[in-house]
């Protein structure tokens, strides 16, 4: 049996033997590895023991120092945990970025302490003398430790916002201090310990810092909206009236207190903080809000003017007649109208002067009065007519805009940086200026339509507007100095529009005199209506010599004529130019009247018509003072009119030549008429016979 099975078991046993050898080898390798590990571990433990022993000794020293420092910290910060403070102190001392130089005289905190000066004596510490380095270290700790918890301290303050405490806010001053503290902590860690965990905490609060800036922007906007109210019309009229009472003096807009002093100070502080931190979007908000306020101030003033005038009919009637004005003054005068008494007095005086001149002229010519003609004219309610009331209202609006612009310019100081004043100021005044310019263009357009209808009396309001705007031009240019050309050209565009309208009115008036279509002449040869109208129009121009002179000086026809006037450089150029224009009108008037007189078939009536009109023109020129202006361009003007009058008299006498020759033809004719006193019966009968015969003669 053994012999039979042995060959079958041998391979298996060999295999088991080989496997056993492999496992023994592997076990030997593991044993050697374990021995190496244990040897290494034993070596490292020995090294660790050598390292720990000095640390243990140093720890004992630190514990003894800890007890001393904790006692001091407990005295200086009684409400703080001494253990926590000490741990932070140890972390500062072991920080590799700060090192041993942190508290050295050349270190960062050392320099800060040197700038602060020697620490103040602590009354709670009764030690007679302490190491100054320790005192500096403790002061530096007080300063630095606050940076480690700044994010937790300021977050509730910033979340509350800068509103007042009564409105659940943190208070403006507290809010700004919290933002500044957060920024100081961030700058400190970025400069001294960029890899600090505390820096990451502070930087993570960057969103909180931006939220604080947004909260300041909102607070600025709310303050601006709350205190930006349109200026009442009565305040504007008071300011305009005061300026009109003191012409030529420096205009002050200090009476327009847009903001209380406390609000102005708060807006200024918010603006300064936002500018320092690169948040300039508040300037756009400021510009839009103040632009809206300025526009509404003018709109309210215009509405008040419409209400105060009581309608166009009443306003015109009150300006036309002194009696009517006195009657309605006590009943309809409002505080806003009383505020501008000085300005109103100027316009009323001018209107009364115009009324008096026109009344005298027409009373001498036709027996009619200007008052009745003006009353009938305005009863038509024509929309194109610009009356004195509307002229005054427009000038008040322009002057009010000027004062408001000056006030807005002063209001920006401190709130808007100086380098941005021009851009913000342009946005503030743009819409209000567009409104005033549009009103001026509307007046000019309506005046042009009056010119096309040859209604030149309605065009006269253009010249006082132009006169006042020219007076305001230097002050306006100083106000908008530095602004964009588009803004600076706005005022010039009004002047150019009115200038063109006035120039067109003057030339069209000459043309209307030349092409007067009326063919109806006075039956008795008295003064023609055209003559009286022309003289009335010319008399009104005396109040605007400088204005009209400036208009005419830009016309080549008049500028060339000015060079031909002798001694023109020795007199006022504007007076000479107006004299040239008046001369041109008078020449055209004489030509037109001469042509119209040919419509008379009767030579006598023709001569009477020419004589009456020429004599009327001369007397009107002398009475109004127009003759002095005409003499500047035509020195012999008066002599020429006297010669014309004499010629017309001669022509008139010649028209009686047939009758006179018949009456004076007899030898006894002169004798009978020369003797003064009671005529003889013979002479009386002779005269009767001569006149009876002359009645049959056809002249």
What's the whole-number mean pLDDT along residues 318-332?
A: 33
Q: How many Cα atoms sit within 13 Å of 515 on the Cβ side? A: 6
- Residue 312: pLDDT above 60? no
Domain boundary among 202, 227, 252: 227
Ranges 125-139, 160-174, 465-479: which has the least confidence? 125-139
Report the SS3 class of residue 412: coil
Do residues 494 and 548 share a domain?
A: no
Do residues 459 and 592 share a domain?
A: no
pLDDT at 241: 75
pLDDT at 311: 45
pLDDT band at residue 391 under the 50/70/90 scheme: confident
pLDDT at 452: 86
- Paired residues of 413 in beta bridges: 416
**Contact criterion met (CB below 8 Å) for 621 and 645:** no
Q: How many domains does the chain contain in total?
A: 5
Determine the distance from the C-alpha atom of residue 479 to the mean position of all C-alpha atoms in its chain, rounded to a whole number: 8
Q: What is the DSSP letter of 413?
A: B
- Residue 615: pLDDT above 60? yes
- Residue 612: pLDDT above 70? yes
Domain boundary among 486, 514, 542: 514
Establish if 86 belongs to a structural domain: no
Angle between helices 341-365 and 312-320 (to 10 degrees): 70
Report the SS3 class of residue 699: coil
Please state, in angstroms and rounded to a whole number, the distance separating the CA atoms of residues 357 and 334.
30
Q: What residues have CB less than 8 Å from 123, skipping those under 6 apart?
A: none
Residue 352 burial by Cβ neighbours in a 10 Å radius (0-12, 13-18, 19+) = middle
Please state, in angstroms and rounded to a whole number, the distance separating the CA atoms of residues 479 and 405.
7
Angle between helices 312-320 and 370-378 (to 10 degrees): 170
Do residues 400 and 459 share a domain?
A: yes
Please state, in angstroms and rounded to a whole number, the distance separating the CA atoms of residues 648 and 579.
25
Please state, in angstroms and rounded to a whole number, the distance separating the CA atoms of residues 535 and 354.
12
- State phi, psi for 485 to the nearest 5 degrees: -60, -35
Establish if 371 belongs to a structural domain: yes
pLDDT band at residue 370 under the 50/70/90 scheme: very low
pLDDT at 183: 80
pLDDT band at residue 187 under the 50/70/90 scheme: confident
Please state, in angstroms and rounded to a whole number, the distance separating the CA atoms of residues 225 and 267.
12
Residue 176: give the domain boundaries: 150-227
- Residue 592: pLDDT above 70? yes
pLDDT at 130: 53
Most confident of 133-137, 213-217, 452-456, 616-620: 616-620
**Contact criterion met (CB below 8 Å) for 598 and 606:** yes
Q: In Å, how far are 158, 178, 183, 280, 291 from 173, measured between CA atoms? A: 12, 9, 16, 21, 30
Neighbouring CB atoms inside 10 A of 358's CB total 23
Determine the distance from the C-alpha atom of residue 162 to the mean position of all C-alpha atoms in its chain, rounded to a whole number: 32
Please state, in angstroms and rounded to a whole number, the distance separating the CA atoms of residues 282 and 302.
31
E-strand spans in 114-243? none
Do residues 195 and 338 share a domain?
A: no
Share of the chain above pLDDT 70, in %: 68
Do residues 557 and 470 share a domain?
A: no
Q: Measure the CA angle with vertex 63, ends 57 and 66; round to 5°.
A: 145
Report the SS3 class of residue 416: strand
Residue 9 burial by Cβ neighbours in a 10 Å radius (0-12, 13-18, 19+) = exposed
Neighbouring CB atoms inside 10 A of 513's CB total 24
Please state, in angstroms and rounded to a whole number, the distance separating the CA atoms of residues 588 and 531.
11
For the segment 94-138, what is each residue's pLDDT rounded down to a tens digit?
Answer: 443 444 444 444 444 444 444 444 444 444 334 444 567 777 777
pLDDT band at residue 638 under the 50/70/90 scheme: very high
Neighbouring CB atoms inside 10 A of 429's CB total 26
For the segment 403-417, what is each residue's pLDDT rounded down to a tens digit?
Answer: 999 999 999 998 999
What's the whole-number mean pLDDT along residues 208-226?
A: 88
Establish if 333 belongs to a structural domain: yes
Do residues 534 and 588 share a domain?
A: yes
- Paired residues of 225 in beta bridges: none
Dihedral Cα 434, 440, 442, 447, nearest 10 deg: -170
What's the whole-number mean pLDDT along residues 239-267?
A: 69
pLDDT at 142: 73
What's the whole-number mean pLDDT along residues 456-462?
A: 81
- Residue 558: pLDDT above 70? yes
Do residues 630 and 666 share a domain?
A: no
Determine the distance from the C-alpha atom of residue 546 to the mean position of all C-alpha atoms in its chain, rounded to a whole number: 28
Can you state the percent helix, strand and coil of the chain, rounding each to 5? 80, 0, 20
- Residue 6: pLDDT above 50? yes
What's the whole-number mean pLDDT along residues 373-397?
A: 64
pLDDT at 199: 61
Look-up of token digits 């910290």: 73
Establish if 140 belongs to a structural domain: no
pLDDT at 137: 74
CATH of residue 468 = 1.20.1280.170
* Structure token pair of residue 683: 């002479």
Give the residue from 337, 453, 315 showing the smallest Cα distance to 391.
315
Task: Specify the long-range contacts of residues 507-511, CB closer than 8 Å, at least 24 apart.
Answer: 508/451, 508/454, 508/456, 509/456, 509/537, 509/585, 510/584, 510/585, 510/588
Please state, in angstroms and rounded to a whole number, the distance separating the CA atoms of residues 37 and 672.
177
- Residue 252: pLDDT above 90? no
Chain mean pLDDT for the chain? 76
Establish if 112 belongs to a structural domain: no
Do residues 665 and 650 share a domain?
A: no
What's the whole-number mean pLDDT along residues 468-495?
A: 89
Give the residue from 403, 108, 113 showing the smallest Cα distance to 238.
403
Establish if 203 belongs to a structural domain: yes
Establish if 172 belongs to a structural domain: yes
pLDDT at 374: 41
Do residues 406 and 324 share a domain?
A: yes
pLDDT band at residue 64 under the 50/70/90 scheme: confident
Ranges 31-40, 115-124, 433-442: which has the least confidence? 115-124
Task: Specify the long-range contacts of residues 568-577, CB closer than 8 Å, at least 24 apart.
Answer: 568/632, 571/632, 572/545, 573/549, 574/545, 574/546, 574/548, 574/549, 574/550, 575/545, 575/549, 575/629, 575/632, 576/549, 576/632, 576/633, 577/548, 577/549, 577/552, 577/553
Ranges 9-23, 330-344, 454-468: which has the least confidence? 330-344
Do residues 507 and 537 share a domain?
A: no
pLDDT at 455: 82
* Structure token pair of residue 114: 């040197």
pTM of the predicted model over 0.75: no
Establish if 238 belongs to a structural domain: no
**Contact criterion met (CB below 8 Å) for 616 and 364:** yes
Domain boundary among 514, 543, 567: 514
Do residues 66 and 198 share a domain?
A: no
Share of the chain above pLDDT 90, in %: 32
Please state, in angstroms and rounded to a whole number, the distance separating the CA atoms of residues 312 and 335.
19
Ranges 110-119, 189-198, 596-605: which has the least confidence? 110-119
**Contact criterion met (CB below 8 Å) for 586 and 630:** yes
Neighbouring CB atoms inside 10 A of 528's CB total 25
Do residues 70 and 196 share a domain?
A: no
Look-up of token digits 């590895």: 33
Neighbouring CB atoms inside 10 A of 492's CB total 14
What's the whole-number mean pLDDT along residues 513-535?
A: 90
- Residue 331: pLDDT above 80? no
């Amino acid at each position: 049996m053994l012999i039979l099975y042995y060959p079958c078991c041998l391979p298996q046993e060999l295999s088991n033997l080989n496997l056993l050898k492999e496992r023994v080898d592997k076990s030997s390798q593991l044993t050697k590895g374990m021995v190496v590990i244990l040897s290494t571990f034993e070596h490292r433990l020995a090294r660790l023991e050598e390292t720990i022993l000095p640390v243990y000794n140093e720890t004992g020293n630190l514990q003894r120092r800890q007890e001393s420092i904790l006692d001091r910290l407990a005295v200086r910060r009684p409400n703080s945990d001494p253990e926590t403070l000490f741990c932070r102190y140890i972390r500062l001392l072991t920080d590799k970025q700060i090192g041993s130089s942190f508290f050295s005289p050349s270190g960062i905190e050392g320099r800060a302490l040197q700038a602060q000066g020697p620490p103040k004596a602590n009354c709670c510490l009764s030690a007679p003398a302490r190491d100054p380095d320790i005192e500096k270290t403790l002061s530096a700790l007080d300063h630095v430790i606050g940076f480690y918890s700044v994010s937790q301290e300021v977050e509730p303050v910033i979340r509350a916002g800068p509103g007042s405490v009564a409105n659940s806010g943190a208070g403006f001053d507290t809010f700004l201090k919290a933002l500044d503290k957060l920024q100081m902590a961030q700058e400190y860690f970025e400069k001294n310990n960029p890899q600090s965990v505390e820096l990451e905490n502070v930087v993570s609060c960057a969103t909180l810092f931006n939220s604080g800036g947004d909260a300041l922007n909102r607070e600025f906007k709310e303050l601006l909206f709350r205190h930006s109210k349109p200026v009442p019309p009565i305040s504007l009229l008071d300011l305009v009236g005061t300026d009109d009472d003191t012409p030529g003096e420096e205009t002050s807009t200090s009476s327009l207190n847009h903001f209380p002093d406390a609000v102005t100070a708060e807006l200024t502080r918010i603006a300064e903080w936002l500018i320092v931190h690169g948040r300039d979007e508040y300037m756009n908000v400021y510009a839009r809000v103040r632009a809206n306020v300025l526009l509404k101030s003018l709109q309210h003033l215009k509405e008040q003017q419409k209400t105060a005038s009581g309608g166009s009919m009443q306003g015109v009637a009150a300006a036309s007649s002194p009696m009517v004005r006195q009657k309605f003054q006590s009943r309809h005068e409002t505080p806003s109208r009383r505020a501008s008494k000085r300005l109103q007095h100027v316009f009323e005086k001018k209107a009364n002067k115009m009324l008096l001149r026109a009344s005298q002229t027409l009373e001498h010519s036709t027996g009619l009065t200007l008052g009745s003609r003006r009353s009938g004219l305005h009863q038509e309610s024509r929309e194109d007519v610009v009356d004195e009331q509307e002229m005054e209202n427009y000038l008040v609006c322009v002057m009010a805009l000027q004062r408001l612009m000056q006030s807005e310019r002063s209001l920006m100081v401190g709130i808007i940086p100086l380098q941005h004043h021009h851009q913000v100021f342009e946005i503030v005044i743009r819409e209000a200026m567009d409104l005033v310019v549009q009103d001026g263009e509307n007046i000019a357009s309506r005046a042009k339509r009056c010119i096309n209808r040859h209604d030149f009396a309605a065009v006269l309001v253009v010249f006082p507007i132009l006169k006042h705007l020219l007076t305001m031009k230097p002050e306006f240019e100083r106000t908008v100095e530095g602004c964009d050309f588009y803004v600076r050209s706005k005022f010039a565009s009004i002047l150019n529009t009115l200038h063109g309208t006035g120039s067109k009115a003057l030339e069209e008036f000459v043309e209307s005199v030349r092409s007067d279509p009326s063919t109806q002449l006075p039956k008795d040869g008295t003064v023609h209506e055209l003559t009286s109208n022309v003289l009335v129009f010319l008399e009104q121009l005396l109040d605007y010599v400088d204005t009209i002179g400036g208009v005419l000086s830009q016309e080549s026809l008049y500028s060339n004529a000015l060079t031909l006037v002798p001694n023109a450089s020795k007199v006022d150029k504007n007076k000479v130019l107006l004299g040239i224009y008046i001369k041109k009108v008078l020449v055209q008037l004489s030509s037109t009247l001469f042509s119209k007189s040919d419509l008379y078939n009767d030579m006598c009536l023709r001569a009477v018509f020419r004589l009456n009109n020429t004599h009327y023109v001369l007397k009107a020129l002398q009475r109004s003072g127009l003759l002095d202006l005409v003499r500047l361009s035509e020195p012999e003007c008066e002599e020429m009119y006297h010669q014309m009058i004499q010629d017309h008299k001669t022509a008139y006498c010649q028209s009686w030549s047939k009758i006179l020759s018949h009456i004076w033809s007899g030898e006894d004719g002169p004798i009978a008429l020369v003797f003064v006193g009671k005529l003889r019966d013979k002479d009386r009968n002779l005269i009767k016979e001569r006149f009876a015969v002359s009645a049959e003669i056809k002249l």
